[in-house]
Amino acid sequence: MVRSARLCLILILCAVRTPAGAQVEMPTRAPQDYSESLFLDPVAFLGKVPGEERLDVFVQVGYDNLSFVKSGDTYDASYEMTLAIDDSAGGRVLEKMWTEHVNGISFDQSVAPSAYSLQQRSFPVAPGRYTVRVTIRDLESKSEKRASYNCVVPDMSTPIVALSDLLIVSRISVRDGRKSILPNVSPNVGTLPNAFFLFFELYNRANPDSLRFTARVVDAKGELLVRTDTLQAVTTGRNEVFLRVENSGLPMGDYFLQVLACPATDTGRVVASRVRRIMVRWKGLPQSMKDLDVAIDQLEYIAKDNELSDLKSATTLEEKQKKFLEFWKRRSTNPNAPRNEKMVLYYARVDYANKHFTRYREGWRTDMGLVYILLGPPSNVERYPFQIDQKPEEVWQYYDLNYQFVFRDENGFGDYRLLTPLWEVYNRRREF
C-alpha cells in the first residue's frame, strides 16, 4: 500500500537485406518481450525547491514475468530492475538499477493472474518532457521485459493554483486515522468494481477556503460519459484530494480523464486542471483489445464459419464475452492456465499489423497483415525499390518454413499485395 505525502506516498506494499547491398532496418519483428502484466506509471508532484519537481515512478511487475523456485514449503523469485529517464532530446537524465526479491509465497500465489510485485521510486526532475523506461530481468530465466512511458512534468511552483498528476487508486484503507492507498498502476480501470478513486495534490497560493473539483471521463470524440462533482474545503499550501469516479457504465474503450478545479462560487472559471489517459478492458481480455466486436471480426483468419456465426449470434455483451473466451480456450495449449498466451500473441500481432501495415485498409486486413498474423515475423526481408522497369517489391523469407512470400506495390503508394496465392499462406504451419 501507499501513504500519500502527508499520506507519505510510500509503498508498503529483423534485420533487412536489400539487393542493392544497403542495410536497412524494417519493423516487421514484433517485440519478443511483449507483456501485458508489466505496467509503468510516472506521477509528478510538487518538489521541495523551486524549479525542481518530484517524479514518483510506480512499477507493477506481474508474477507471470517471474520464475519462481521452490524453497522449502514456499516459492521465491528475484529480478533485476533498471529504471531510466530520458529528456525530450534523448539525453539520459538518470539511470538506476537494483534487485528485488519476492519470497515466501504459496504456489497458488505464484501462478495467480492478478498477483504482482509493486515498486515505487522518487526522483527530482526539472519541469519538461521525459520518457521513462523500465527493464526487468528475471534472475532465474534471464528473460527481460520492457515498458516505457512518455510524460510531461509541469511547473507546479509558480501558478497561483496548481494540481499534481492524477494517480488512480484501487483501494483506500484507514488505520489509526491515517489513509493508505493502493495504486492502480495499469491504466485499465475496467477490472475495478463499479468505481475507482483518484488521488492528487492541490497547491494553493490563493485565499479560497473551498474549491469544486469536477472529474470528467470523455471519449476520443470529446463526448462526456461520466461526471463527478465534489466540493472540498482547502487550505493555503499543499492539500490532498480524493475523488470517487463511477466506471460501471463505461464500455470497453480508451478514454481521457479530466479533473477541473473551480471556485465554489464561480463553477464556470477553471483555475487548475489535469488530464490523463485511462482504458476499460474486461478481465481475461488483452490490453490491446479495444472493441469486442472488432476483435471477433479479426478472428476471420483462424475461426471457422460456424464459430464466427456463433460468436456474432450472442444477444448480450456477457454472452459474447463468454463465447469469445471459450473460443480461445479451445485453442490454448494449456486451457487451465490463468493467461491465454495464444490469444495475447494473436492480438499483439493484430495490433502490430495495424501500426505498421495500415494504408488504405486497416493493417490487419492487408496481405502483409494476414501473413504476419498467421506466420509471425519473417526471418529476413528483401526490399526491391521502384525502378523504371520494376514496381516496388518486398520478399519475406521464412527459413523455418522453407518458403518466401512476395509482395508488390502496384500503385506506388505503399499498398503491397501478395503475389503468392492466398492458399499458400493457409497451407503453411501456423500457431493458431
Task: Report pLDDT digits (tens) over 143-174.
Answer: 999 999 999 999 999 999 999 999 999 888 88
Of 254, 250, 113, the C-alpha closest to 187 is 254
The pLDDT, as a whole number, for residue 284 is 65
Residue 41 has pLDDT above 70, yes or no: yes
Residue type, 58: F
Residue at 179 is within a domain: no
- Lowest-pLDDT range of 10-24, 83-97, 120-134, 252-266: 10-24
Q: Same domain, yes or no, for 415 and 304?
A: yes
Residue 316 has pLDDT above 50, yes or no: yes
The pLDDT, as a whole number, for residue 68 is 95
Over residues 9-30, mean pLDDT? 34
pLDDT digits (tens, 9 = 90+) for 250-302: 888 889 999 999 998 887 899 999 999 999 887 666 667 778 889 999 999 99
Q: Same domain, yes or no, for 202 and 80?
A: no
Q: Same domain, yes or no, for 309 and 278?
A: no
Overall pTM surpassing 0.95 (yes/no)? no
Over residues 308-321, mean pLDDT? 88
pLDDT digits (tens, 9 = 90+) for 368-394: 999 999 999 999 999 888 776 678 899
SS (H, E, C) the chain: CEECCCCCCEECCCEEECCCCCEEECCCCCCCCCCCCEEEEEEEEEEEECCEEEEEEEEEEEHHHCCCEEECCEEEEEEEEEEEEEECCCCEEEEEEEEEEEEEECHHHHHCCCCEEEEEEEEEECCEEEEEEEEEEECCCCCEEEEEEEEEECCCCCCCEEECCCEEEEEEEEECCEEEEEECCCCECCCCCCEEEEEEEEEECCCCCEEEEEEEEECCCCCEEEEEEEEEECCCEEEEEEEEEECCCCCCEEEEEEEEEEECCCCCCCCEEEEEEEEECCCCCCCCCCCHHHHHHHHHHCCCHHHHHHHHCCCCHHHHHHHHHHHHHHHCCCCCCCCCHHHHHHHHHHHHHHHHHCCCCCHHHCHHHHHHHHHCCCCEEEEECCECCECCEEEEEEHHHCEEEEEEECCCCCCEEECCCHHHHHCCCCCC
Instruction: Look at the chain and report how many structural domains it folds into.
Output: 3
Domain boundary among 283, 313, 342: 283
Q: Same domain, yes or no, for 43 and 152?
A: yes
Q: Same domain, yes or no, for 239 and 318?
A: no
Q: Give the orientation angle of helix 317-331 with respect to helix 341-357, to 10 degrees.
A: 100
Q: Same domain, yes or no, for 297 and 376?
A: yes
Domain boundary among 260, 283, 306: 283
The pLDDT, as a whole number, for residue 40 is 94
Q: Same domain, yes or no, for 217 and 242?
A: yes
| pLDDT category of residue 192 using cuts at 50, 70 and 90 | confident
Q: Which three cell numbers stand for residue 8?
A: 507519505
Of 58, 92, 68, the C-alpha closest to 169 is 58
Residue at 431 is within a domain: no
The pLDDT, as a whole number, for residue 5 is 41
Q: Distance from CA of residue 75 to its chain's centroid?
A: 28
Residue at 210 is within a domain: yes
Of 241, 205, 172, 187, the C-alpha closest to 5 is 241
The pLDDT, as a whole number, for residue 29 is 34
Q: In terms of pLDDT, which residue wins out, 34 or 41?
A: 41
- Domain extent, residue 391, equals 292-426
Residue at 172 is within a domain: no
Bridge partners of residue 92, in order along the sequence: 86
| pLDDT category of residue 35 using cuts at 50, 70 and 90 | low
Q: In terms of pLDDT, which residue wins out, 430 or 186?
A: 186
The pLDDT, as a whole number, for residue 266 is 83
Residue % of the chain over a pLDDT of 70:
89
Residue 12 has pLDDT above 50, yes or no: no
The pLDDT, as a whole number, for residue 333 is 83
Residue at 180 is within a domain: no
Q: Same domain, yes or no, for 134 and 205?
A: no
| pLDDT category of residue 91 using cuts at 50, 70 and 90 | very high
Residue at 5 is within a domain: no
In whole angstroms, what is the distance from residue 169 CA to residue 147 CA?
A: 21
Q: Same domain, yes or no, for 147 and 209?
A: no
Q: In terms of pLDDT, which residue wins out, 413 or 76?
A: 76
Domain with residue 136: its CATH number is 2.60.40.10
Q: Same domain, yes or no, for 261 and 376?
A: no
The pLDDT, as a whole number, for residue 26 is 39
Residue at 405 is within a domain: yes
The pLDDT, as a whole number, for residue 50 is 86
Phi and psi based region of residue 185 (left: phi greater than 0; alpha: psi -120 to 50; beta: remaining):
alpha
Q: Same domain, yes or no, for 129 and 241?
A: no
Over residues 102-128, mean pLDDT? 92
Residue 23 has pLDDT above 70, yes or no: no
The mean pLDDT of the chain is: 86
Q: Same domain, yes or no, for 255 and 354?
A: no
Residue at 9 is within a domain: no
Kindly report the backbone phi and psi dihedral angles of residue 343, in degrees, each rounded to the nearest multiple of 5, phi listed first: -65, -45
- Lowest-pLDDT range of 99-108, 236-245, 314-323, 358-367: 314-323
Domain boundary among 265, 283, 301: 283
